[in-house]
Amino acid sequence: RDKSVQDKVALDNAVETADTITHETRHCYQHECADHPKTEQDYAFRDNFDNYVTPDMDFEGDEDQIVEADARDYAQAYRDMIS
């Protein structure tokens, strides 16, 4: 990975920090699913990681990827619980 979580986190904002950590943790879960696929979603994660588009390649393409949408949704659900 080209950026550390610390590079992405606004450490002076607890909710934003929790959002970023939750988002990145979801990516860890997605990688586990992709490495040991059992469901259609697991296979979709694997396919997405195999063909990952970085923001510097295509920002909108990065945002539209299943792993990014899933991580954003997961982080938003957590954010809604704590704020």
pLDDT tens digits for range 13-44: 888 889 999 999 999 999 999 999 999 999 99
- Residue 2, classed as helix, strand or coil, is coil
The per-residue pLDDT for 9 is: 57
Residue 1 is given by DSSP the state: -
The per-residue pLDDT for 22 is: 96
Rounded Cα distance, 6 and 55, in Å: 18
The per-residue pLDDT for 5 is: 53
Sign, Cα dihedral of 72, 63, 36, 18: negative
Average confidence score pLDDT of the chain = 90
Q: Which two tokens stand for residue 81?
A: 């619980």
pTM of the shown model: 0.83
CA dist list (Å): 34 to 65, 73, 78, 83: 14, 18, 22, 31
